[in-house]
Structure 1
């Protein structure tokens, strides 16, 4: 095909555009007020992870002396670093404006976030007592002047950079000393904000209003207590934060276990190279320069002026204060139609397939499946993949219970699940101690598939049951991430699923699959084959379309395949939550492609792929996005949907999402996150999807 200018959107820039959509939610006045504050927290948390992973990668390429153009989609690494910094500074400025606006609106609701200068005498007594009993024992304070080398600051921890201007005649521990040099009149310190204490401290009130002080300001209020031994004229405190490269450096020592290597690598993150230095833009110039010199910040690091408060990710946990009117109306999880949690789930699955669509449906079906497998005398073995588990996971408890009941339990646990390594190491050690057989993956590949297989003895033969999901087996995220889980006893599908688990143990043997689409060997080629079939049908004048829903599309080979389909008249509808390197609507390249992103109260996490197949749709769910890492460097599983009712359900809920004209943004060449607006009745797809399932259940109940 002829080269078109801007054939792809740069991946990093597209990711920043996604985070801008999250920021739009914080700005949207139709979103409940406290939820808007929490979206600001999500925006900040996303940005932290972006710098730890994506920006760190760009920086490594730049420092290597290579351009990185092949990896970065045509952009030069150093130029891209500058573009990222510029965009992030603009976004941070916008986020501070939004935060200021939200605080004013909170005040109208009787909720006041005050700082250390606004504390009254009654609140001051409470703060001092709170500080002495809870905060002071947890504080770590570093005096900088006498240190030739500063201790490594923790990744993403927030610190108050304190400057004391001393009196010329300083009295310290009973010794009077005349200080003549102006520089010696200054003493610098860092106070780490404890992560073990809630960031938002609710203060007592006599007027019926809510008063909250942030832990940072509570510490500022008590600086005199912290530095009481110093005879200073003035003291000031400004927040700073360092973000470090999160890439794991895996030890090659053969004498260490894989768990030991990952554990050591995770600890190494705390001393890895800094990639971002954020500071309060009101900090004094001399203090800032002192810190930059002392910390060894260089021109290759992204130095970003920010507001008074960092680690705004903590707003994700802003207290509800009993104000349900300022929160989303609850969506109680619904039952899966015809699938009763009280009876035997295996008996129902033996009759037909069922689809759980969390969070619209209760996640309890996954727990019910595992608990029943743990108790059922006929069950011989349970195999499961683990990528991210919840704290106090019922999934892990069910597996341990199964072992205690004599079942053979095998868990493939991914120790390198980004930012969940420590939790997974703890679970691995716990499961191993209880007798669960653990598999730690395949060299060079992450196991990202979400699968479970149960073997049950029925009438002297082994019958298999299982589930295949687009998301993690995590009770916490299942309340906010949208994900499909297919429960099935389709023996041919489950025969393929057994081959996947066999591959974990004998990775030298590459299996062939009749039904499942498995990375790294078959996902890319299978989807390209399905796309080519649509092209052939379009050329033959037959119906041809493709509908996809995923988190991201960054693999240029898949983008090119869709461009080719578009040029041949295949109509393509794409719902992509996050990064989209494809540009829709370009004449001669992608005029038959439309793409939207839906960002709303739930995180869209489902992966759905629909191919017209001459009006006999082929429908798949998958754990894989169309990213190079999912296609080539991970074990992923996609599953065909054969049940006609479930196929219909998936197509109908896709259509609901596609019709969204409230929370859908349009992907275009401008990358301006324009909301899709039209003259049709408003459709807010997540709310409409909940209503869709509510109506289904009401119909079955005869209402």
Structure 2
């Protein structure tokens, strides 16, 4: 059922649209053509996505409910109703999740002679092995908390955000006692591989190891029965901090991060088999709203299944796709000398992030390099980017790094990197007062015969070598003087926390993106009204900004053809008479995470192509520092256009976003099968 926000034009509520996206992730877990271990990992991604959704989006809706009823009028929808809709959808998806895991994937693993067994399925030999493992490795980490059943005035223990607990029910002859036990998944593996027997492979979860050994944990009690049921609390993860970029800000951020694990409860996911008296006890003691209760399966924090051990061989995972070289770009030669000849495009993860690292390492050791400017948002755990910047500073280069401390869920890591960089001699700017700096840009100044020459890298994704292996992004190397001049002006402004207008080539938020986007759309409208072909192809992660959606509807009504590739939430409603008959929307969910933002405008036959760090969301357009940049090199333009055309042909992993939100696959109109990510890999392989 379509939930449309009341406006003068149709809109899908963004939270519900996001849930439809996460359902597409669940579809991958249901797809029998996906290798079995990968299907488990898609279940893990679905679960992790849902956790973050509750921590942020549901948390925000609950805050809106708390304000007053005026919120309904202001937003055009009732937050309380949306919360109820969310619960209904989530309960349906959780049931689908449980069915896929318990009735399909488990059974298919068993067909491969791989058995995930629980505590009730252990024989004597495996039971002895498990108990020995428990006593040696697990028991020392467990400290049960005995709960009060008679004294309701004693505070209930603070459950940590997204940690798994057992609510343990001990039944005595005349009374019942409850206890909490935290499952120590943060300090040990969730999975134990048991000794193989006659070609049969067995895996048991840490949860069930503890269930099997509850008597070792509660040995002092003479109970009649003992039971344990999983629960997991998801809390409000939004940070309440003043926008004051100073040392006080860093202290306030650290303090706020410490409070994150004690945020307001958003969701209690519980084992559906939990006795009603135990559930009622939790609800009353934790003061939970009914909307926060989500029944689930036996196991929570399914995100840990991303690391499920493959004991069944390579056929149970995607075959490797070795990273490709960039055509005519040699890692054995100077990147700068090659950039001086032409622009280069790295398409991740098909091609290697090593080109970006090599660029920074060369800048760090090249005696002619005088200065490096870079914006960083999310970084890998062991970051080669950070090491290269520190090496550059120690080699006497002036290194200016704008490191965004407000990158959600990476705040603590970025505070650590800030300290490392400063200790290494890098000049660190920790952000802009009102805005997150989300741009992915780097500019290197090199002294040459003709003076300072500037070498730039601009990207749609982060300077992060870990995510570069699974996120589909584009990274451009260029010495185009108009682009580098704009970047010099932008970096100077960021240093002084001021913003400029009137860039010659790049499009920046927060001041210009909305205006320039509207102008580009208006140009297509003018072209269409003149009787020529007006068209746009826009690829992004999310489309939720109402102003942009209204302009797209306007373009549709003027005769402009619009093709959208939107991985995540899409609040635009395609196929509506009088609004969007000429707008099609597809979403590709596959092995890799589609993350690139690409804008293509027909421009009367002389196409304009931009890559961008920004999604078409209000926050990216108006409340962040973002950079969209033009592609002017003919070879790079053709490569991007070819990749987009391949994605528009996908009839294997592309879903149609339609009025029904049923995530219908776009089936083959011919016998030829097109799977975009495989086809792009082969296209780039042929080029290299």
TM range (shorter): over 0.9
Matched position secondary structure for 1:525? helix
Matched position secondary structure for 1:341? coil
**Selected match of 2:282 from 270, 286, 291:** 291
State the partner residue of 1:701. Answer: none
CA displacement, residues 160-190 of structure 1 (integer Å, 9 cap, x when unaligned) = 10010124xxxxxxxxxxxxxx4xx211111
8 Å CA contact 2:164–2:183 kept in 1: the answer is yes
Distance 1:576 1:69 in 2: 28
Distance 1:234 1:601 in 2: 46
CA displacement, residues 6-32 of structure 1 (integer Å, 9 cap, x when unaligned) = 701110110000000000000000000
State the partner residue of 1:165. Answer: 171
**Selected match of 1:15 from 13, 18, 21:** 18
Distance 1:110 1:49 in 2: 34
CA displacement, residues 610-659 of structure 1 (integer Å, 9 cap, x when unaligned) = 00011100000000010000000000000000001111111111010001
8 Å CA contact 1:574–1:594 kept in 2: the answer is yes
CA displacement, residues 71-94 of structure 1 (integer Å, 9 cap, x when unaligned) = 65x320111110000100000000
Matched position secondary structure for 2:441? strand
Matched position secondary structure for 1:614? helix
Worse-matched range after superposition: 198-207 or 22-31? 198-207
Distance 1:441 1:533 in 2: 35
State the partner residue of 2:257. Answer: 266
Matched position secondary structure for 2:605? coil
State the partner residue of 1:595. Answer: 585
> 1:339: Cα distance to partner?
0.5
Distance 2:237 2:315 in 1: 39
Matched position secondary structure for 2:165? strand
2:203 is equivalent to residue 218 of structure 1: no
Matches within 5 A, 1:58-207: 58-66=61-69, 68-69=71-72, 72=75, 74-100=76-102, 101-145=104-148, 148-167=154-173, 182=174, 185-194=175-184, 195-207=186-198
Matches within 5 A, 1:369-388: 369-388=359-378
Q: Relative to structure 1, is the Cα distance of residues 71 and 582 closer, same or farther in structure 2, using a 3 angstrom cutoff?
A: farther
Distance 1:653 1:565 in 2: 25
Matches within 5 A, 1:615-694: 615-680=605-670, 681-694=672-685
2:407 is equivalent to residue 417 of structure 1: yes
> 1:424: Cα distance to partner?
1.1
8 Å CA contact 1:545–1:572 kept in 2: the answer is yes
Distance 1:71 1:441 in 2: 31
Worse-matched range after superposition: 346-355 or 198-207? 198-207
CA RMSD after TM alignment: 1.5
Distance 1:464 1:204 in 2: 59
Q: Relative to structure 1, is the Cα distance of residues 615 and 323 closer, same or farther in structure 2, using a 3 angstrom cutoff?
A: same
CA displacement, residues 347-368 of structure 1 (integer Å, 9 cap, x when unaligned) = 0011110000000111110100
> 1:4: Cα distance to partner?
8.1
Q: Relative to structure 1, is the Cα distance of residues 538 and 14 closer, same or farther in structure 2, using a 3 angstrom cutoff?
A: same
Matched position secondary structure for 1:366? helix
Distance 2:105 2:335 in 1: 47
Matches within 5 A, 1:407-446: 407-446=397-436
> 1:512: Cα distance to partner?
2.9
State the partner residue of 2:3. Answer: none
CA displacement, residues 465-508 of structure 1 (integer Å, 9 cap, x when unaligned) = 01000001111111110000000111210111112211222123
Worse-matched range after superposition: 444-453 or 247-256? 247-256
* Equivalences, count: 677
8 Å CA contact 1:61–1:67 kept in 2: the answer is no
Distance 2:398 2:330 in 1: 27
2:227 is equivalent to residue 236 of structure 1: yes
> 1:529: Cα distance to partner?
0.1
8 Å CA contact 2:375–2:439 kept in 1: the answer is yes
Q: Relative to structure 1, is the Cα distance of residues 423 and 132 closer, same or farther in structure 2, using a 3 angstrom cutoff?
A: same
Q: Relative to structure 1, is the Cα distance of residues 70 and 576 closer, same or farther in structure 2, using a 3 angstrom cutoff?
A: farther
CA displacement, residues 17-60 of structure 1 (integer Å, 9 cap, x when unaligned) = 00000000000000000000000000000000000011111111
State the partner residue of 1:353. Answer: 343
> 1:533: Cα distance to partner?
0.3
Q: Relative to structure 1, is the Cα distance of residues 105 and 134 closer, same or farther in structure 2, using a 3 angstrom cutoff?
A: same
Worse-matched range after superposition: 138-147 or 314-323? 138-147
CA displacement, residues 316-359 of structure 1 (integer Å, 9 cap, x when unaligned) = 11112262100001111100100001100010011110000000
8 Å CA contact 1:382–1:409 kept in 2: the answer is yes
> 1:67: Cα distance to partner?
5.1
State the partner residue of 1:39. Answer: 42
Distance 2:8 2:375 in 1: 43
Distance 2:635 2:351 in 1: 16
8 Å CA contact 1:503–1:511 kept in 2: the answer is no
Distance 2:243 2:8 in 1: 44
**Selected match of 2:486 from 492, 496, 499:** 496
Matched position secondary structure for 2:603? coil
Distance 1:149 1:391 in 2: 37
State the partner residue of 2:538. Answer: 548
Matched position secondary structure for 1:589? coil
Matched position secondary structure for 2:12? coil
State the partner residue of 2:302. Answer: 312
> 1:251: Cα distance to partner?
5.1
Distance 2:389 2:319 in 1: 34
> 1:117: Cα distance to partner?
0.5
Distance 1:334 1:495 in 2: 31
Q: Relative to structure 1, is the Cα distance of residues 249 and 576 closer, same or farther in structure 2, using a 3 angstrom cutoff?
A: same
> 1:139: Cα distance to partner?
2.0
2:16 is equivalent to residue 25 of structure 1: no
8 Å CA contact 1:67–1:77 kept in 2: the answer is no
> 1:68: Cα distance to partner?
3.2
Q: Relative to structure 1, is the Cα distance of residues 152 and 5 closer, same or farther in structure 2, using a 3 angstrom cutoff?
A: same
8 Å CA contact 2:403–2:431 kept in 1: the answer is yes
CA displacement, residues 539-590 of structure 1 (integer Å, 9 cap, x when unaligned) = 1112211001100100010001010101111111110000000111112111
Q: Relative to structure 1, is the Cα distance of residues 255 and 520 closer, same or farther in structure 2, using a 3 angstrom cutoff?
A: closer
Distance 1:483 1:459 in 2: 35
5+ residue gaps in structure 1?
A: 168-181, 698-703
Q: Relative to structure 1, is the Cα distance of residues 259 and 329 closer, same or farther in structure 2, using a 3 angstrom cutoff?
A: same
**Selected match of 2:271 from 275, 280, 283:** 280
Q: Relative to structure 1, is the Cα distance of residues 115 and 582 closer, same or farther in structure 2, using a 3 angstrom cutoff?
A: same
> 1:66: Cα distance to partner?
3.0
5+ residue gaps in structure 2?
A: 1-5
